[in-house]
Structure 1
């Protein structure tokens, strides 16, 4: 039975991936910063024998180590890592503070980097390969006037670069590294405004749903001859306009 570590899994994309992974018979170790919210998410998955929860900030190396330890102790190892945890916000470039920049870099990039280090060490020791799927964003390569998000996008851009670099470095170990780059997806991230107002950004003239992101993640998890790939999940946002 395959085991996946999924960060940022208290809600939204990460929780939906966890739900789908459990439904198809896999084990999951889920992570989030809010222990109470994470515990509720774990209980909601309805499969206690297949779920472990580790609360903590992925920006700390100790959290990645704890995730791996939980996977090994509960399920015997780790086969898949989904680096979903991340934060996003808009603010004019010249107004971004050092603390805000550090926050985006700490969670979006440092957290992905350190968690991946911990998992790769374990995968290498197991000697059976593995699959890593990072979550980025199409806005890294296709910015939009009126959406000043230099700090989170600089951090996510690092995740895109890390994906390609690790795909090459880890290929001899049989570890594949890919990335899903969503456009506008209906998640709790967009609380406070009607996300459907952004439908016109995509050729398909609608926003994406978390289930569609999950489909993309699981496709890359399962596709044994794909590595170093950036999969845009944007309804055609990068290609054109409705």
Structure 2
């Protein structure tokens, strides 16, 4: 049931910590109802946040997330595909398990939830899909072996453009935010200095840098099919 007439609703994947948690807080501040999902997410204290525990690579999780949004709020306006995993290894060191895990979360997860959310984004009349990708898909770096990231996130960049064009005349926009290295619990503090050196600006990104980029795209009705690089200049060169 919709709680208040016209309240918009955002679905955020990978929502329990780091960038995902920052996005949940930001959309709440905008007045959105939020459905937040991850494998480890706990119950929310805020009645305008519904949490759904599950593996995003599972079609069942996508079903439950979309159902939860419709049951609690009656609509979906924005989907943020934030769940992702990054495994940096020399190509020949990747295992079959690595491949299954990275493609499962990054690609299969994107497919299941985006396909199920899209009819509801169309129904809202001004839907928006934002997918978090990596700048390494455009600008490989010999210091960071990242074939699986490029294989999966590069595909998501292309899929973003394809979705944008397919739905451009029907009120749904699709954009991506391609990241450099962001300071999140994923990166131990002792690695920060080395990681900062990957960026021309010489520092790591902050969660707030990513949130600001997503909120810009949310408020930009003429922007679709955009791959917005939030990467301290990495995409421009080294």
Query: Shorter-chain TM-score: which interval?
Result: over 0.9
Separation in 2 of the partners of 1:187 and 1:148?
20
What's the secondary structure of 1:6's corresponding residue? strand
Which segment drifts farther, 191-200 or 64-73?
191-200
Whole-Å separation in 1 of the counterparts to 2:87 and 2:162: 27
Q: Which residue, 1, 10, 15 being the options, matches 1:9?
A: 15
Q: Which residue of 1 aligns with 2:131?
A: 134
- The residue that corresponds to 1:221 in the other structure is 218
Q: How many residues align?
A: 232
Partner SS state of residue 143, structure 2: coil
- Find the partner of 1:39 among 33, 39, 42: 42
Structure 1 residue ranges without an equivalent (≥5): none
Residue of structure 1 equivalent to 2:26:
20
SS of residue matched to 1:238: helix
Q: How far is 1:76 from its partner? A: 1.6
State whether structure 2 residue 151 is matched by structure 1 residue 145.
Answer: no
Q: Secondary structure at the match of 2:15?
A: coil
Aligned pair partner of 1:88 in 86, 89, 107: 86
Name the SS of the counterpart of 1:194 in structure 2: helix
Which of 164, 172, 181 aligns to 1:175? It is 172
Please state whether the residue corresponding to 1:164 is helix, strand or coil. helix
Structure 1 runs of 4+ aligned residues shifted over 3 Å read none
3-state SS, counterpart of residue 201 of structure 1: coil
User: Which of the numbers 23, 39, 56 marks the counterpart of 1:58?
Assistant: 56
Q: Contact (CA 8 Å) 2:136, 2:149: kept in 1 or not?
A: no
Deviates more, 1:174-183 or 1:155-164: 155-164
Structure 2 residue runs without a partner (length 5+) = 1-6
Matched residue of 1:49: which SS?
A: coil
Q: Which has the higher helix share?
A: 1
> What's the CA shift for 1:192?
6.0
Mapped contact 1:185–1:210 kept (Cα < 8 A): yes
- The answer (yes or no) to whether the contact 1:127–1:173 under 8 Å persists in 2 is no
Deviation at 1:3, TM superposition (A): 0.5
- Normalised to the residue count of structure 2, the TM-score between the two structures is 0.93
Residues 1:112 and 2:102 are matched in the alignment: no
How far apart are the structure 2 equivalents of 1:53 and 1:140?
A: 31
How far apart, in 1, do the equivalents of 2:65 and 2:170 lie? 21
RMSD: 1.4
